Amino acid sequence: MTVLELRFPAGRFHATPWGRHVNEGAVEWPPSPWRILRALIATWYLKVRKDSEVTPDTIRALAEALSQPPVFRLPHATTAHTRHYMPYNEGKNKKTTKVFDTFIQLADNDAVLVAWDVNLSPEQLAALKTLAARLGYFGRAESLVEARVLAGITAIEPNAIPLDEGVKLPEKTE
């Protein structure tokens, strides 16, 4: 099992769900698997590729290995938001527009655990550890993150799992 731990030092996770507008007030929770892979690949392109032995082939193999839906261990969290007015100019007219900044509020020491039922090769595991250590934010830029790969974990008790196509949500879940 491969387990990635995500901690948010500011206690907030900002991420707009795919297909939604940032001002709708919706937050992606749990983080989508494509967002995780996209963040890892972007980190490789921006912070690892030029000064590392982590090759494009290793990144492709890692992305392929992590492309199956993970399970999550989510901490207690709540949705919150701020509202503020942003200035903008239309010619000589100065105006403002209301902006919603919606996020998930977490306790300071809580972490999101993302687990894939895969055993990575030593090269893939080393690459994932490097990428996790260099991941600076996750979601929108306001979401500072500290990520690391947890070693020696054989199982987690998930509280968020993927559902098969067409399966109804269990009662009292979102």
Residue 122 has phi, psi (to 5 degrees) of: -55, -40
Q: Is the peptide bond before 170 cis (omega within 30 degrees of 0)?
A: no
The token pair that represents 79 in the structure block: 């949705």
Length of the chain: 174
One digit per residue, the tens of pLDDT, for the chain of length 174 reads 999 999 999 999 999 888 888 888 889 999 999 999 999 999 999 999 887 789 999 999 999 999 999 999 999 999 998 888 888 888 888 888 888 889 999 988 899 999 999 999 999 999 999 999 999 999 888 899 999 999 988 999 999 888 888 888 888 776
pLDDT at 97: 84
Q: What is the pLDDT of residue 174?
A: 64
What's residue 58's pLDDT? 95
Q: How far is 172 from 80, CA to CA, in rounded Å? A: 20
The span from the CA of 109 to the CA of 8, in Å, is: 8
User: Which pLDDT score, from 0 to 100, does residue 109 have?
Assistant: 84
| Helix, strand, coil tally for the chain in percent (to 5) | 25, 30, 45
Enter the pTM of the model: 0.88
The rounded distance, in Å, linking the Cα atoms of 30 and 107 is: 16
φ, ψ of residue 69 in degrees (nearest 5): -65, 130
- Whole-number pLDDT of residue 104: 94
